[in-house]
Amino acid sequence: MAIPLSPTLYDDDYVAWLDITLEQLKKHDLDHLDWQNLTEEIEALGREQRRKVESYLLRLLIHLLLYQHWHTEREWSGRGWEKEIDNFRLELDLLLESKVLSNYLETVLEKDYQKARKSAIRKSRLSPETFPISCPYSIEQILDPNWLPKI
């Protein structure tokens, strides 16, 4: 028996829409699915996961740069930066269990490094020449829980 789906249910009661859509999928009731909203939701989930990868990668790169290059602040903030580096790596590790997201990280590394570099320059007020133009860290180093850049 098909579950009726109001044309406005997605907007009126999102949770009910999710429940009904899930039930339709489980029953292979493909004729009554709200394909437009389901497609948009799946696309949004993918975008959200990619944004998370970029967000954690960006913050990780900023902290690696500050840790390595902002010598005068490292005495006060170094331990906090190390903790943040660990946290960002843990979050990325969970996300990168997905091969698609792991491949995505490789495609955005240099772009995110440029953003991280600009952010580190603004935050530290150090000369732009202090920070390498291209990402000096390999993906393996960035993700290695036992690695920190040489200081």
**5-40 pLDDT per residue, tens:** 677 899 999 999 999 999 999 999 999 999 999 999
Residue 44 pLDDT greater than 70, yes or no:
yes
Nearest alpha-carbon partner for 123 in 56, 51, 63: 63
Q: How many CA within 13 A on the CB side of residue 114?
A: 3
Amino acid at 98: S
- Find the angle CA(127)-CA(130)-CA(133) to the nearest 5 degrees: 110
N residues, the chain: 151
pLDDT at 49: 97
Q: Do 9 and 16 contact (CB within 8 A), yes or no?
A: yes
pTM for this one? 0.85
| Three-state DSSP state, 99 | helix
Q: Is pLDDT larger for residue 13 or for residue 1? A: 13
pLDDT tens digits along 97-149 = 999 999 999 999 999 999 999 999 999 999 999 999 999 999 999 999 999 99
Per-residue pLDDT, 6: 75
Query: What is the tens place of the pLDDT at every residue in 49-94?
Result: 999 999 999 999 999 999 999 999 989 999 999 999 999 999 999 9
Predicted local distance difference test score (pLDDT) of residue 70? 95
Domain parsing of the chain, residue ranges: 9-143
- What is the architecture of the domain spanning 9-143? Up-down Bundle (1.20)
Asked if residue 138 lies in contact with residue 87, where contact means CB atoms within 8 angstroms, the answer is no
CB 71 within 8 A of CB 148: no
If one counts every other C-beta atom within 10 angstroms of the C-beta of residue 139, the result is 14
